[in-house]
Structure 1
Amino acid sequence: MRTAFQEELKPELTLTIGGKSFSIPGGQITHLAVRLASHGFTASVTFWTSMEKKDSPLFTAFQKPDLVQVRLAVAAVDPALDTPPAPLVVQGLARSRRLIAEPHGKDKKSERVFRRYTFEFADAAQVLWRQHRPVELHTDMSMQEVLEAHKASILLSYDWAALRQKQEMLCLAVGADAPGVSFYDFVLWYVHTHNGVFAYDTQKSEYLLADSKPSGTAAPIDRLQVAHVETKLPPPIRHGTRVLNALANGPTTTPIAQPQAVTGVSHDVLLRNPITSQAEQRQKLEKTRLQVRQRQLHLSFKDFPSVPVHPGALVRMEGSLWPAPLTGLDEDHRVLELELEAHAESEGQHDNQQTLQAQYQMTMSARLESASEPLVTLPLFRAPHYPIHVEALVHSPGGEPQDRRYLIVEDEKTSLAWFRMTVPLWNQTVSVPAEPTHFPGQFFFPPYKNTRVLVALHFAHAEFDRFLDWKEGVRTPQDGQGDQILLGWNKSSQTAFTHDFQEDKPVWRMLRTNGGDTQIVRMKEGNLFIQVKESQSGAAPTPTYDVSPQVEAAKGDLTTAVGGAVGETSAAYQGAMASVRAKMKSAQAEAKAALTGARTEVGAKVAEAKSGLQGATSRLSQGVSELGSAAEQAKAALEKLR
């Protein structure tokens, strides 16, 4: 429920278009509406201007497609306050703009044109990032570095260790082939999936990415400025969670209980991760998502508040004017949302021209959450679509470009093996699991150097999808309808197994070549041919030893080991910090509960003492009355004796 009230406001509006700044007197603003949330805002403002010339600077700038920066500050005019609170400020970018022109006066020579401008604007991240749809691959970068590369003119601050951790790969998949998904959705999705905080500071026009909500000091709300207080109870969670790790060797199912869950109702999370520490991190993440959201309060104001009530600000309902049984009394609350709308009482074109303030009919309400609420409220978003598929070349150092060499990097700590794939589009090399892929386990055909392959890129890992072409020399002429397998490094050092048809009869042959040394075994209709031949002209060159594969493998092992150690250290640090914060919040909650209980007990004893004192006073008054009555009777008796 909202309550309308009259208020004298002093709005300040500044427009910056194409580098030029325009200040609009507050009295010319006829309507403004602002909806602030913890993650950003949307707003609109309408004002009249009186223009003597049709080519005025604002009118000329308005017609250009330049970016429009809007700054709106709203303050109440209250002479009773010695130190009025800071005005409510929103700074953003225009999303749409409208213009209506109306003439005033009958004489064409003295015609005066009034123009009504309307700007709808929002915070910079909503305007810019919703139109930003990059597709990129990064390696050995942190998420903070990725955000810095895409922030444009947006102000960002960080207080989150996970953002600073270097990742082996990070893939952004929010291009045109993912309908409806933008970089703004990607950031919200990342914050949600990693249990972080995305908060917007409207006073600084700055965004904070953190692992927990910021704290501060709560300001008291004046009871006389609030019309209604409603308690909102979010719906409880009725499901538990099971984390399923679908490994053939050692599958696990980890149930995560939740007090309000109905038996048999579960949200299952499916993994296939052989690294125990990573599976345990996912279990901890899912456990935090099962926290039950606390109740919220909805305040409707009947006067412009004298303390800051922008999202993120801490407020407190305290004092004797508030009802004693009020939910949330004497508790710190965080402002979650604020809605404000004001209509000027004088909306004519020539009213309040060039004045700085005006009278408005307005409504104002706020939604509060407990200051100890750990859960984050985010706007609706679309999850990015993974994986995306790109072409890559198998990476294997050493030898000549056409050599058929392979490289397997093994992680000694996890016993996992990896192939390396270079993605030419971004000139980045990623690791994919060294698995049989499309062959059964009894075949060992690792992908050779520079082979064209298709790679599936997820957000933080890659997978080998399939091969895209044949190696040089492996295809046989179509006339023979043959099949062939080439094993070995190159043409001068290999073994070929070929089966084809000659004169419609099957022929099988094996050819081993090593420089000038060749061996041939050929079988065809009624014939077996075996030949061993050594050609002096093709004698093998002096052997050399290329240690590039070993060096590359060692580098891969070291990178994996260091990355794993850093990841575990970061995870341990984050876990420890989360535990410390949880204990601190628990201690604060217990202290607040104890303080509230003590206040209640003291209040009860004070009330009891007041009641006893009132009873004693009543009895004393009754005794005095009786004594006065007895004195009157004695006096009357004495009068009779006379």
Structure 2
Amino acid sequence: MMGGEALARAMGVHPVSTPFQEELRLELSLTSGGQSFSIPGGQVKHLSARMDSHGFSASVTFWTTMEKKDAPLFTAFQKPDLIQVRLAVTAVQPDLESPPTPLVLQGLVRSRRLVAETHGALKDEARVFRRYTVEFADAAQVLWRQHRPTELHTDMSMAEVLEAHKATLQLSLDWATLKRKQPLFCLALGSDAPGVSFYDFVLWYVDTHQGVFSYDNQKDQYLLTDSKPASGQAAALSPLPVHSVRVLVPPPIRHGTRVLNALAEAPTTVALEHAQAVAGVSHDVLLRTPLASRAEQRQKQEKARLQVRQRQFQVAFKRFPPMDVFPGALLRMEGSLWSAGMTGLDEDLRVRTLELDAHAEDEGQHDAQNTPSTNYQARLSLQLEAASEPVVALPAYRAPRYPIHVEGLVHSPGGEPEDRRYLISEDEKTSIHSFRMTVPLWNKTVSVLAEPIHFPGQFFFPPYKNTRVLVALHHERAELLRFVDWKEGVRPPQDGQGDQILLGQNKKSQTALTHDFQEDKPVWRMLRTSGGDTQVVRMSEGHLFIQVKESEATAPPTPTYDVSPQVQAAKGDLTASVGESIGLTSTAYQAAMGTTRAKMKSAQTETKAALGGARAEVGAKVAEAKSTLKGASARLDQGTGQLAAAAAAAKASLEKLR
């Protein structure tokens, strides 16, 4: 998918900002091996950071003082221990009564560099200043991009998978889809899927299930939710600190989508169209599922992908703004200082991306030592989207490659280990028939569709108990590919160059069909065995031999039957049914919530418009009242003047009478 930066480049638009001088207070600390080191902000000579709604990446360069004072940091820096970085950036603006929240970057070091420079000499001993550079990012990018597990889980939810693999990350999971139990859940991220990490897997899962993956840089916490946050008060953004504003109009989607279900008994083709699509241009999605609910779910997913992205704004600053501008913060370009009719005026806008670059004006080793702040030449720009934008911006990712292939053993009802038994389970809700396969690598039992595999439909050869098979594991389902070994006793001796079919339960109760060569002549034989009772039909060159024989044998063993596999299968079917029901309920709930949110947003928009109209009407009436009061005041002043003149004339007349 196309992110904001990619969108800007695709349109030929690059971030434009002008450097400005700003006094910044930087609080930098590094923690390694249980030791914490604080670096005075004045010693930081360069800072570069890009903060997105899903995480950040940054680099920072700083000088240290003499080698004796930074010896512990120097020693820790050379060890391979994990280094945690916390950097808080605040513009020094003493005239503000309520300063904005500092920009906080909390992450792990990706790479590090160290350069030592000598300065002066004392008794033939050179003094050393060290220049450290660390590149760091949020923990998910650093840890999850190196995490590539290959696992199989059953009766587990995505929330449980995330909790099991979160390492040191803080997660907030407020999404019903994550909590839905899945009969099968496979992670396929090992070396057979080059370049695909657990980070890619999480982004792929969020994207394919229409969720939201975001990062709260202030709390150092990751949020997986079903929709973007809609609450919060937008801060007024004045044009005074703004250098420029650009409007980015994303390219519209010109294709429709068709969801094709290639089921022979009931094939379907559902066309998903939208207003911007060009007739005859389509992205097709091919399925093969007997479940209408799964096809409908995929149709909803593909419909959501056709949402049109709204316009975006690129704002460059000429000084630090006096409000919160970290990703997720809401801004509103309002006020009489903005040009009337400007695009985006008086709209709630959400910060998607922040880019900051700062170079200290004094870069020498001695400059600003042990001071909390210093002057920087800084560049600051934001990318904003409408607060109502439904489309989720995710970083580029690689989709995991499914399926992976593992060996399994057919799981079927009891008897003896060597018995050839089979089990076919039927889902009462969907009427789908399944075989059960145990994967010894993870000791998990999964269901696969009960199909003829490589035989035509007139042959019924179900997989027998403990038969070695090759199983294909997809993300949430399994598939039986082929058999990888012969059952015991079915392969005839090689010197006979023969073929054989064994039908039945075991050696004591079976029918064997054998065709081989004896003295280069074909021989066909059928041997039926049932305890001590045997029948043989043998055809060879010029001979037909039929024998029925009953030998004394012990009483036939009492047949045993282990029902635990059926119980487990029923439990699996019940879990799948409950999980699907919960999924359908969750989907309905999310759809209802989406409708409710849309109505609330519409009501908010109408309320804001009504309030705006009311403000204008009240303003006009207030202006009219002020004008009336001014006129009355002027007439009162005129009357007062006339009265004063009459009083003065009367007084003059009285003086004359005296």
SS at match of 1:337: strand
Assess if the C-alpha contact under 8 Å between 1:50 and 1:112 holds in 2: no
CA distance in 2, matches of 1:498, 1:396: 27
SS at match of 2:608: helix
In angstroms, what is the RMSD of aligned CA positions? 2.3
Alignment of structure 1 residues 627-638 onto 2, 5 Å: none
Q: How far has the Cα of 1:44 moved from its partner?
A: 0.5
Q: What letter corresponds to residue 401 of structure 2 in structure 1?
A: H
Distance 1:132 1:30, change over 3 A: same
Partner of 1:592: 605
CA distance in 2, matches of 1:222, 1:242: 44
Q: What letter corresponds to residue 229 of structure 1 in structure 2?
A: V
Q: How far has the Cα of 1:589 moved from its partner?
A: 3.1
Matched, 1:89 2:138: no
SS at match of 2:353: strand
Matched, 1:219 2:234: yes
Partner of 2:509: 493
Distance 1:283 1:374, change over 3 A: same
Q: What letter corresponds to residue 588 of structure 1 in structure 2?
A: K
Assess if the C-alpha contact under 8 Å between 1:506 and 1:525 holds in 2: yes
Q: What letter corresponds to residue 287 of structure 1 in structure 2?
A: K
Q: Which runs of 5+ in 1 are unaligned?
A: 622-642
Partner of 1:415: 431
Partner of 1:72: 87
CA distance in 1, matches of 2:459, 2:381: 69
Q: What letter corresponds to residue 493 of structure 1 in structure 2?
A: S
1:535 to 529, 533, 551: 551
Superposition TM-score, scaled by structure 1 size: 0.92
SS at match of 1:185: helix
Partner of 1:560: 573
Partner of 2:525: 509
Assess if the C-alpha contact under 8 Å between 2:140 and 2:199 holds in 1: yes
Q: What letter corresponds to residue 166 of structure 1 in structure 2?
A: K
Distance 1:208 1:119, change over 3 A: same
Q: How far has the Cα of 1:591 moved from its partner?
A: 3.6
Q: How far has the Cα of 1:506 moved from its partner?
A: 1.0
CA distance in 2, matches of 1:520, 1:463: 39
SS at match of 2:202: helix
Distance 1:97 1:460, change over 3 A: same
Q: How far has the Cα of 1:597 moved from its partner?
A: 6.8
Matched, 1:328 2:341: no
Partner of 1:104: 119
CA distance in 1, matches of 2:255, 2:201: 27
2:284 to 260, 264, 268: 268
User: Segments of 4+ in structure 1 off by > 6 A?
Assistant: 604-614
CA distance in 2, matches of 1:542, 1:16: 71
Q: What letter corresponds to residue 556 of structure 1 in structure 2?
A: A
CA distance in 1, matches of 2:596, 2:273: 20
Partner of 1:38: 53
SS at match of 1:140: coil
CA offsets 1:68-107 (integer angstroms, 9 cap, x no match): 1010000011111122122110000011111111111155
Superposition TM-score, scaled by structure 2 size: 0.90
CA distance in 1, matches of 2:125, 2:514: 98
Q: What letter corresponds to residue 586 of structure 2 in structure 1?
A: Y
Assess if the C-alpha contact under 8 Å between 1:221 and 1:305 holds in 2: no
CA offsets 1:480-522 (integer angstroms, 9 cap, x no match): 1111000011101100000111111111111110110111111
Alignment of structure 1 residues 136-285 onto 2, 5 Å: 136-223=151-238, 224-285=240-301
- Range with bigger deviation, 322-331 or 178-187: 322-331
Matched, 1:308 2:324: yes
Q: How far has the Cα of 1:50 moved from its partner?
A: 1.1
Matched, 1:61 2:76: yes
Assess if the C-alpha contact under 8 Å between 2:414 and 2:560 holds in 1: no
- Range with bigger deviation, 406-415 or 346-355: 406-415
CA distance in 1, matches of 2:175, 2:379: 37
SS at match of 1:212: coil
CA offsets 1:278-310 (integer angstroms, 9 cap, x no match): 111111111111110111111111221221111
Q: How far has the Cα of 1:110 moved from its partner?
A: 5.3
Matched-pair identity in %: 64
Distance 1:554 1:106, change over 3 A: closer
SS at match of 2:96: coil
Matched, 1:14 2:25: no
Partner of 2:40: 25
Matched, 1:293 2:309: yes
Assess if the C-alpha contact under 8 Å between 2:436 and 2:448 holds in 1: yes
CA offsets 1:402-423 (integer angstroms, 9 cap, x no match): 1111111111221111111111
Matched, 1:471 2:487: yes
Matched, 1:3 2:23: no
CA distance in 2, matches of 1:406, 1:117: 67
Q: How far has the Cα of 1:558 moved from its partner?
A: 4.4
Distance 1:214 1:613, change over 3 A: closer
Assess if the C-alpha contact under 8 Å between 2:183 and 2:575 holds in 1: no
CA offsets 1:2-27 (integer angstroms, 9 cap, x no match): 12211111000000011100000000
CA distance in 1, matches of 2:227, 2:180: 17
SS at match of 1:419: strand
CA distance in 1, matches of 2:263, 2:485: 32
Matched, 1:51 2:70: no
CA distance in 1, matches of 2:242, 2:271: 46
Q: How far has the Cα of 1:477 moved from its partner?
A: 1.1
Assess if the C-alpha contact under 8 Å between 1:227 and 1:299 holds in 2: yes
Q: How far has the Cα of 1:64 moved from its partner?
A: 0.8
SS at match of 1:105: strand
Q: How far has the Cα of 1:603 moved from its partner?
A: 4.5
Partner of 2:583: 570
2:388 to 372, 376, 379: 372
- Range with bigger deviation, 2-11 or 21-30: 2-11
CA distance in 1, matches of 2:505, 2:613: 84
CA distance in 1, matches of 2:520, 2:380: 90
SS at match of 1:3: coil
CA distance in 2, matches of 1:25, 1:545: 78
Q: How far has the Cα of 1:210 moved from its partner?
A: 0.9
Assess if the C-alpha contact under 8 Å between 1:219 and 1:307 holds in 2: no
Assess if the C-alpha contact under 8 Å between 1:344 and 1:359 holds in 2: yes
Partner of 1:628: none
Distance 1:52 1:490, change over 3 A: closer
Q: What letter corresponds to residue 82 of structure 1 in structure 2?
A: E
SS at match of 2:154: strand
Q: How far has the Cα of 1:320 moved from its partner?
A: 2.3
Q: What letter corresponds to residue 236 of structure 1 in structure 2?
A: P
SS at match of 1:41: strand
- Range with bigger deviation, 487-496 or 406-415: 406-415
Assess if the C-alpha contact under 8 Å between 2:24 and 2:374 holds in 1: yes
Q: How far has the Cα of 1:576 moved from its partner?
A: 2.6
Matched, 1:483 2:499: yes
2:456 to 436, 440, 445: 440
CA distance in 2, matches of 1:452, 1:584: 52
CA distance in 1, matches of 2:571, 2:30: 55
Partner of 1:626: none
Assess if the C-alpha contact under 8 Å between 1:97 and 1:120 holds in 2: yes
CA distance in 1, matches of 2:532, 2:544: 23
Partner of 1:632: none
